[in-house]
Amino acid sequence: MKLITIDGPSASGKGTVSQLVAKALGWEVLDSGALYRISAYAVQRDGIALEDEQAVAAVVSHLAIQFKDGKVWVDGAAVDDILRQESTGKLASKIAAYPALRQALFERQRAFLTDAGLVADGRDMGTVIFPEAPLKIFLIADVRERANRRYKQLLDKGLDADFEAILADLQRRDEQDMNRAVAPLKPADDAVLIDSSHMGIQEVVDSILREWEKKSH
């Protein structure tokens, strides 16, 4: 089965590394965080009360979501800029604690698995969505290093950035993701742990490709 899961906390490099691993293998990518961010976007767009778990979950079932031309489209609108905002990430993390929402997204995520091969990026890819994956990676990095990566991403885009505020946001979101009752952020029992605190992107990609080589021989 051509399937690799990459889970880990925010800014550990999952998205970047998933794209590169998929490119090297000629596989597809599932950015599951985008689905939670899209849900957060739709909840705001439709003025849904945050505490209404069933209404939050129901919003997702009607959304037309497309990943095309390198952009994310929801009901015909390109929403990338909104999805990337930290306020959307925070809201996503809040509603991601709802079992009904996680259930509503379950099949949508499973549907990404085809014969073409898949790198699945998220928090519960190896533990809940694809427990059968032959290779599960848990990617971590020191929290200050992760905050620094986000800080640099903002500066590179010419935006204002406050390192301490980014650090506080990351810590709060990690804590929320690790401590929720349903599908918390944690390594699968059979996950391979990679600490990228002192590793370059290509080094991480190469070590995952080596792990895959080992599995496929």
Q: Which residues are annotated as a binding site?
A: 8-16
Task: For the segment 26-85, give every residue that binds ligand CDP (CB under 6 A).
Answer: 32-33, 36-37
Minimum CB distance to ligand CDP, residue 217 (Å): 26
Three-class SS of residue 4? strand
| Cβ distance to ligand CDP smaller for residue 126 or 217 | 126
Residues 121-160 that bind ligand CDP (CB under 6 A): 122-124, 149, 153
CA 48, 72, 134, 210 torsion-angle sign:
negative
Contacts of 167 (CB under 8 A, 6+ apart): 143, 144, 147
200 lies in the binding site for ligand CDP (CB under 6 A): yes
CB of 58 to ligand CDP, least distance (A): 18
φ and ψ at residue 12, rounded to 5 degrees = -80, -10
**Strand, helix or coil for residue 192:** strand
Spatial separation of the C-alpha atoms in residues 181 and 50, rounded to whole Å: 18
Q: Which residues bind ligand CDP (CB under 6 A)?
A: 8, 10-16, 32-33, 36-37, 89, 92-93, 96, 122-124, 149, 153, 173, 177, 196, 199-201, 204
